[in-house]
Amino acid sequence: MKSLSSKRPVACLAALAVVVAVSACAEPEGGTGDKDRSGSASGQIVIDTTFDVKTIDPGREYEPTGQILVKGLYDTLLTFADEDTTKVVPDLATYMANEELTEYTLTLEEGRVFSDGEPVTADDVVFSLERLQGLKGNPAFLLDGVSVEKIDDATVKLTTAESAPALPAILATPSLGILNSKVVKDHGGATDDSDTAEEFLNGNSAGSGPYVLEKLDVSSEAILAKNEKYNGPQKATYDRVILRNTEPATQKMNVERGDSQVALGLSGDMAESLAPGVKIESVPSATVVFLLVNADPAVSDLTSKPDLVKAIKAGVDYDGLLEIAGLGAAQATGLVPSVFLGALDEGDALKYDPDAAKAAVAAAGAEGQPITLSFPNDIDPTGLNMTTLAERLQSQLGKVGLNVKLAPAPFATEIDAYRSGTEQIGLWYWNPDYMDPANYLAFGPGETVGLRSGWPEGANAAIEQLVSAGYTTGDETERQKVFEQWGKAMNAESPFVPLLQPGSNVAYQPSVTGVHYNPVWLINVAGLGAN
pLDDT tens column, 484-520: 999 999 999 999 999 999 999 999 999 999 999 998 9
> Domain 77-193, what architecture?
Alpha-Beta Complex (3.90)
Contact partners, residue 24, CB within 8 Å, separation at least 6? 48, 244, 245, 246, 247, 250, 251, 254
Residue ranges per structural domain of the chain: 77-193, 288-501
Host H or E run for residue 26: none
**Rounded mean pLDDT of 153-169?**
96
Mean residue pLDDT across the chain: 90
pLDDT above 70 covers a percentage of the chain that reads 92
pLDDT in tens, 171-187: 999 999 999 999 999 99
User: Quick one: which of 133, 128, 229 has its CA closest to 185?
Assistant: 128
Measured CA to CA, the distance from residue 497 to residue 292 in angstroms comes to: 6
Asked if residue 170 lies in contact with residue 436, where contact means CB atoms within 8 angstroms, the answer is yes
The pLDDT value given to residue 269? 86
Measured CA to CA, the distance from residue 53 to residue 69 in angstroms comes to: 9
pLDDT in tens, 80-137: 999 888 889 999 999 999 999 999 999 999 999 999 999 999 999 999 999 999 999 9
Q: Could you give the angle at which helices 461-472 and 476-493 cross, rounded to 10 degrees?
A: 150
* 446 to 7, 145, 262, 455, 497: CA distances (angstroms): 9, 19, 42, 6, 17
Model confidence band, residue 531 (pLDDT cutoffs 50, 70, 90)? low
* 101 to 54, 163, 353, 473: CA distances (angstroms): 35, 5, 44, 9
The pLDDT value given to residue 38? 29
pLDDT at 28 exceeding the cut of 90? no
Asked if residue 201 lies in contact with residue 115, where contact means CB atoms within 8 angstroms, the answer is no
* 28 to 68, 220, 225, 317, 478: CA distances (angstroms): 19, 12, 14, 46, 51
The pLDDT value given to residue 510? 95
Model confidence band, residue 55 (pLDDT cutoffs 50, 70, 90)? very high
Cα distance from N-terminal residue to C-terminal residue, the chain = 35
Measured CA to CA, the distance from residue 309 to residue 291 in angstroms comes to: 10
Model confidence band, residue 160 (pLDDT cutoffs 50, 70, 90)? very high
Asked if residue 25 lies in contact with residue 260, where contact means CB atoms within 8 angstroms, the answer is no
pLDDT in tens, 350-407: 999 999 999 999 999 999 999 999 999 988 777 788 999 999 999 999 999 999 999 9
The pLDDT value given to residue 42? 54
> Domain 288-501, what architecture?
Roll (3.10)
pLDDT at 337 exceeding the cut of 90? yes
The pLDDT value given to residue 85? 85
**Rounded mean pLDDT of 207-222?**
96
Host H or E run for residue 401: none
Asked if residue 479 lies in contact with residue 342, where contact means CB atoms within 8 angstroms, the answer is yes
State the CB neighbour count (10 A cutoff) for residue 291.
24
Strand order across the beta sheet in which 240-245 lies: 211-217, 221-226, 240-245, 44-49, 262-263, 503-508, 279-284
Task: Return the minimum-mean-pLDDT range out of 55-59, 126-130, 331-335, 430-434.
Answer: 430-434
pLDDT above 90 covers a percentage of the chain that reads 82
pLDDT in tens, 226-269: 999 999 998 899 999 999 999 999 999 999 999 999 999 888 88
Measured CA to CA, the distance from residue 306 to residue 495 in angstroms comes to: 8
Q: Could you give the angle at which helices 306-315 and 386-398 cross, rounded to 10 degrees?
A: 110
pLDDT at 305 exceeding the cut of 80? yes
Name the 3-class secondary structure at 63: coil
Measured CA to CA, the distance from residue 248 to residue 346 in angstroms comes to: 31
